[in-house]
Structure 1
């Protein structure tokens, strides 16, 4: 659709008020730009997620000035990994510049909080506004705004740039011709909430011995995990997720959740009598599954760019980091005196993401590809959990918390490997 007179304009339109979009809008507004943040739902609204935040995400919250000490936040010391009849508790790595704790908070509260933070910085939030198309400059083909529907009425919004933060299925990215790549990781996760007598836990709990309920005879182990994350007041976010390379996992994840929870200890109360919601699921296209992350006036952030950890399925930290990166690039670009200089600054955005995440995402994809072999997955699970040093090294890799300045030999080795691994 070609651009016409817009009824409302801004310097930048951000599509989607999830962690990526709200973080982008916050930093843009804080820098003095006029920002329009468009969200198709109305807050508070739910998002399918594990609700767990690693120290990477907590660091982003603290940088934004979010108070994480009040009610609604559940603090975690680290991870409890379970598998092969073993349980290993590991605290979050001690890395300079990162907090030594994680958090849990439901996305219904979390996303609303971040959107309000963006508003407080000066962004204009329009809820219930579903972006349906892009306004394109007829001469250059660059995005110059969006078309959206709100309360059944079509609206046109103009801007110098558009940020697509509208999730994995990103309508904005598709409209700009950016499809998901098939050579990246694809995960699927399902989750459900339960109300139990067990009020909380200091550790996020992950079970590594998922077995395909559809496999005949001896069950095949899957690359993935089941999780139990406390969200406060006896409520638990419980789910399972698997990841594969090149294709969507051909597994009934609802059956996988039923099979795994049936094997949990009875005292956990993870059963039908204590369930409070239906099972809901979503896809996790990861490893930078959309490229390039900038084209013709549109930048991709968060899930829209496929910025999901291939190993853990975690996306909130990368969403917020990419939101901060995109805002930095946009502020620099719009300060340039000519259109060509502005475009040159914007074209640096994909390289910025590659430098930050590329080597890790490539390594993660290779690990997932290897551990897709059920025999190797079983071997690695059993032998890593029996060796605390190996388990901790795998934990650091899994959550992407490797300290290149550490004196620890494992950190130095993993840092060297990551530096030598090419970006996807």
Structure 2
């Protein structure tokens, strides 16, 4: 690292790339950049360990991303494994779906609290060679007055960090992107997630749970609420319990989501433990920006990764897997650009490989997800789908593969080929 002075005599730290935000996407990007031999400054506004609103349950897609990053996901390393999804959907008994046995993905998912998960990934980036700066609350971009290109960032306490490329992995606030005029695309779906923890005897369950119908009283005899719920066992005597509501649902933005959560849980069996006296911590909420709702993902030296670029899946609200995958793609483009000479036309062409790769891998899938969110925005449609779909095992296996984006690219079965074809022919989101 080299240090210099700015015109206002404040200390300036320089590196090849600045990554703003040490969540899963930011830490993954920093790790891959360091492996490519680039100097990386990873800025985190908080101090670890810190909490984030999340379901804490990861699918096999996220497990694969962790493995590619070099993370040991074994139970011996402190991970809780899940083997599938238990789907609750109305009049039929819950349906248990094992994760598919595939070439491209492992047959298990994992759970880990975000307070521990993010800390571990940030330390992993440091071990790879990145420099982590905690307590660095980035307030604005430093721009070249002539070109409008980002050349660094400034923190709330007046520190300046300089680099020819900046990765915005600052979450759904997307402060950096907004400061450079990249506003969200209002036609893309958004979600809201609320969650808390409860002491529960179901803490050691081997399945993640998804509740496709939320009732505000006795199931089947009360009001059907918009959204879907989850119960993820944490293996420590608690479960992460929450719900998600889509912007396509009636009353989105005008609903008391904390009250919605409690109304749903009041209808669950008392022996499950999801009552106020068993709550651990408070109910918290977060926005879920979906389907590439902020673009372009590269421009004027700024790279968007994760929630900052709207990379949450419209199908299931999963964001961590896609943030880590985007981090790997971004690092590849940045390493290639540096090798061609920062500031050259060739380097800029190399950077365009990043948004192209995102659209190629996820654009069609997210477009299908946008259609999906419109369909299930009406609880009545969700009711029909669960009433007539859940009793059909083959259909549910297909839906599981689609919603979790778990297919083999080359040697998959007929379901894989159908889903892959649909994603390819759909126009990119």
2:243 to 240, 245, 248: 240
**Map of 2:112 onto structure 1:** 105
* Cα distance, 1:243 vs structure 2: 1.4
Q: Deviations over 1:122-165 (max 9, x none)?
A: 1000001100111111221111111013xxx3101111100000
1:251–1:211 Cα change, 3 Å: farther
1:140 to 136, 140, 147: 147
**Map of 1:130 onto structure 2:** 137
2:333 corresponds to 1:323: no
**Map of 1:302 onto structure 2:** 306
SS of the residue corresponding to residue 358 of structure 1 reads helix
* Cα distance, 1:3 vs structure 2: 10
SS of the residue corresponding to residue 96 of structure 2 reads strand
The answer to which of 234-243 and 368-377 deviates more is: 368-377
**Map of 1:73 onto structure 2:** 79
SS of the residue corresponding to residue 265 of structure 2 reads helix
* Cα distance, 1:374 vs structure 2: 2.7
SS of the residue corresponding to residue 7 of structure 1 reads strand
* Cα distance, 1:375 vs structure 2: 2.3
Partner Cα separation in structure 2 for residue 124 and residue 147 of structure 1: 17
How does the TM-score come out when normalised to structure 2? 0.93
Contact 1:299 1:326 in 2 (8 A): yes
2:139 corresponds to 1:164: no
1:21–1:140 Cα change, 3 Å: same
SS of the residue corresponding to residue 278 of structure 1 reads strand
Partner Cα separation in structure 2 for residue 407 and residue 72 of structure 1: 32
Q: Paired residues, what number?
A: 417
Partner Cα separation in structure 1 for residue 427 and residue 253 of structure 2: 25
Partner Cα separation in structure 2 for residue 4 and residue 415 of structure 1: 55
**Map of 1:117 onto structure 2:** 124
Contact 2:104 2:408 in 1 (8 A): no
Q: Deviations over 1:357-377 (max 9, x none)?
A: 100100011011012233221
2:216 corresponds to 1:209: no
Partner Cα separation in structure 2 for residue 3 and residue 182 of structure 1: 39
Partner Cα separation in structure 1 for residue 313 and residue 35 of structure 2: 28
SS of the residue corresponding to residue 33 of structure 1 reads coil
Q: Deviations over 1:320-368 (max 9, x none)?
A: 0011111011001111046111111112221111111100100011011
1:135–1:272 Cα change, 3 Å: same
**Map of 2:366 onto structure 1:** 361
Partner Cα separation in structure 2 for residue 88 and residue 97 of structure 1: 25
Partner Cα separation in structure 2 for residue 293 and residue 65 of structure 1: 26
Partner Cα separation in structure 2 for residue 30 and residue 41 of structure 1: 25
SS of the residue corresponding to residue 62 of structure 1 reads helix
Q: CA RMSD in A?
A: 2.0
Partner Cα separation in structure 1 for residue 244 and residue 100 of structure 2: 24
Partner Cα separation in structure 2 for residue 212 and residue 357 of structure 1: 35
Q: Which runs of 5+ in 1 are unaligned?
A: none
